[in-house]
């Protein structure tokens, strides 16, 4: 709620100009992202302080309770939903809170505000451990990793900042106009970290307003530019509330009783497609969707892409209006349609048909991030 209130103060009418996107780095966020990524990848760094930090984080994971309550109030249990799901949710929550603290000292405040993470995990233990891991790896990170990591992330930031302003504005305007977004933020703050565990982006709440964290990771050049626009689009979606193509798709999917996967991923796929198209139209005509290049679409979104791509093209070129686009997308996602297509391909590839059908009820496989400030980022 605080997040939305903060956003409302910064929101302005579309006529007031396009939102500026500010990219920056922080050594604290880079260090935390790196030790978490090392722990997730089961790396054993040679430097003793870094190794100790990774071991401490792994030991913390072993102390995670067997269930977690999500912000939406849903109880997720290891026995029913799988240990990996519970651990993933704990880490995502801890990551978001750590990034939002903005410094190692800032972590000390969290247990006072939130004594239990996810309703079960002792926050003093969790953030005490994270603080310890940061302290014991600080000097080695600063001397051995940060210089090269910082310049790698900086080259990503530079390549985005070097897009001529007119082209960048055109790309942002294309997304805002196609998605029918009128209420928008004045600016979007993004912190670029060299490495990050879990999905490669999240939006967190800080003392000074919302902050997008992006793990530069493997993304370079126009791929990185698309990731920045995609994350910015999540902020546009949040600020616009229900008054956007994404909000309307979400509402229409809900009204049609579609699966939780559809309610989340039908609008999310539109975000992927629009960000990629914006890069192609205004930055690099040879650009290929990040979702294709890095296999994100293949994790359950390619069917949605096939449905949405031609309809969005018609919307972009004003051949149809937003209402018609929403109607067509939801109609093409009807259970009857999915079933008939699955049956049609069942004769040649029955296993695949089953797989496609099964995916429609599996939430959260397609995105590269989940936010800490929203239920579906
Ligand atoms: Zn996303």
Q: How far is the CA of 118 from the centre of ligand 1 (A)?
A: 23
pLDDT by residue (tens digit) across 29-86?
A: 999 999 999 999 999 999 999 999 999 999 999 999 999 998 778 899 999 999 999 9
> How many A from CA of 232 to the centre of ligand 1?
9
Helix then strand count (H, E) for the chain reads 17, 10
Q: Phi and psi dihedrals of 296, rounded to 5? A: -70, -40
Q: How far is the CA of 44 from the centre of ligand 1 (A)?
A: 30
20 neighbors 232 (Cβ within 8 angstroms): no
CA 144–ligand 1 middle distance (angstroms): 32
What is the token pair recorded at 41? 């990848």
Predicted local distance difference test score (pLDDT) of residue 120: 94
Q: Which two tokens stand for residue 50?
A: 């870094």
Q: For 344-348, what is the mean pLDDT?
A: 35
The range of the structural domain enclosing residue 33 comes to 27-145
pLDDT of residue 347: 31
Q: Which pLDDT belongs to residue 335?
A: 62
* Number of domains present in the structure of the chain: 1
- 282 Cβ contact partners less than 8 Å away, ≥ 6 residues apart: 167, 168, 170, 171, 174
Query: What is the distance in A from the centroid of ligand 1 to the CA of 223?
Result: 14
pLDDT value, residue 217: 86
Pinpoint the alpha helices (H) of 83-178. Answer: 83-101, 110-113, 123-140, 146-161, 165-178
* Res. 8: pLDDT tops 70: no
| 126 Cα–ligand 1 center, Å | 27
pLDDT in tens, 281-316: 999 999 999 999 988 898 889 889 999 999 999 999
Please state the rounded mean pLDDT for residues 235-261. Answer: 92
Contact present, 323 and 330 (Cβ < 8 Å): no
pTM: 0.80
CA 268 to ligand 1 center in whole angstroms: 6
Residue 235 within a domain: no
Rounded to the nearest angstrom, the distance between the alpha carbon of 227 and the centre of ligand 1 is 9
State in Å: Cα 125 to ligand 1 middle. Answer: 31
pLDDT band at 3 (very low <50, low <70, confident <90, very high): very low
The answer to whether residue 53 sits within a structural domain is yes
Domain membership flag for residue 194: no
> How far does the centroid of ligand 1 lie from the alpha carbon of residue 231, in Å?
6
Report the separation in Å between the CA atom of 117 and the middle of ligand 1, taken as the mean of its atom positions. 24
pLDDT at 261 over 80: yes
Two tokens, residue 221 = 């050049």
| Lowest mean pLDDT segment, chosen from 2-16, 162-176, 228-242, 363-377 | 363-377
Residue 88 lies in a domain: yes
Query: Using alpha carbons only, how large is the chain's radius of gyration in Å?
Result: 21
Look at residue 14 and tell me whether its pLDDT is greater than 60: no
pLDDT of 201 reads 83
For residue 110, the CA-to-ligand 1 centroid distance in Å is: 27
**Which pLDDT tens digit goes with each residue over 96-133?**
999 999 899 999 999 998 999 999 999 999 999 999 99
Q: Where does residue 61 rank: exposed (0-12), middle (13-18), buried (19+ CB within 10 A)?
A: middle
Mean pLDDT, all residues of the chain: 84
Partners of 202 in the β-ladder: 213
Asked whether residue 354 is assigned to any structural domain, the reply reads no
Is residue 91 domain-resident?
yes
| Residue 124 CA, ligand 1 centroid: distance in Å | 31
- In this structure, is residue 134 part of a structural domain? yes
């Amino acid at each position: 709620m605080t997040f939305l209130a903060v956003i409302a103060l910064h929101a302005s009418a579309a006529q007031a100009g396009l939102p500026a996107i500010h990219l920056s780095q922080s050594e604290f966020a880079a260090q935390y992202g790196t030790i978490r990524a090392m722990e997730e990848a089961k790396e054993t760094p040679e430097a003793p302080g870094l190794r100790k930090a990774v071991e401490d984080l792994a030991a913390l994971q072993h102390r995670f309770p067997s269930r977690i309550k999500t912000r939406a109030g849903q109880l997720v249990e290891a026995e029913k939903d799988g240990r990996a799901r519970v651990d993933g949710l704990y880490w995502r929550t801890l990551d978001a809170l750590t990034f939002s603290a903005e410094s190692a000292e800032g972590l000390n405040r969290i247990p006072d505000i939130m004594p239990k993470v996810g309703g079960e995990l002792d926050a003093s233990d969790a953030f005490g451990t994270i603080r310890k891991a940061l302290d014991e790896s600080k000097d080695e990170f600063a001397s051995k990793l940060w210089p090269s990591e910082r310049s790698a992330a900086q080259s990503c930031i530079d390549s985005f900042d070097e897009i001529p302003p007119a082209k960048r504005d055109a790309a942002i305007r294309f997304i805002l106009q196609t998605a029918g977004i009128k209420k928008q933020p004045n600016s979007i703050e993004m912190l670029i970290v060299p490495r990050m565990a879990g999905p490669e982006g999240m939006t967190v709440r800080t003392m000074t307003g919302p902050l997008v964290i992006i793990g530069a990771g493997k993304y370079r050049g126009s791929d990185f530019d698309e990731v920045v626009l995609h994350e910015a689009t999540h902020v546009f979606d949040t600020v616009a509330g229900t008054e956007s193509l994404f909000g309307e798709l979400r509402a229409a999917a809900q009204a049609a009783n579609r699966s939780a996967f559809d309610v989340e991923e039908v609008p999310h796929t539109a975000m992927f497609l629009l960000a990629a198209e914006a890069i192609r139209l205004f930055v690099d005509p040879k650009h290929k969707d990040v979702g294709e290049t890095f296999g994100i679409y293949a994790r359950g979104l390619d069917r949605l892409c096939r449905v949405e791509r031609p309809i969005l093209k018609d919307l972009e070129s004003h051949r149809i209006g937003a209402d018609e686009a929403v109607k067509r997308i939801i109609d093409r996602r009807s259970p009857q349609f999915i079933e008939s297509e699955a049956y049609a391909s069942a004769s040649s590839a029955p296993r695949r048909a089953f797989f496609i059908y099964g995916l429609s009820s599996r939430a959260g496989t397609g995105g590269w991030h989940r936010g800490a400030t929203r239920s579906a980022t």
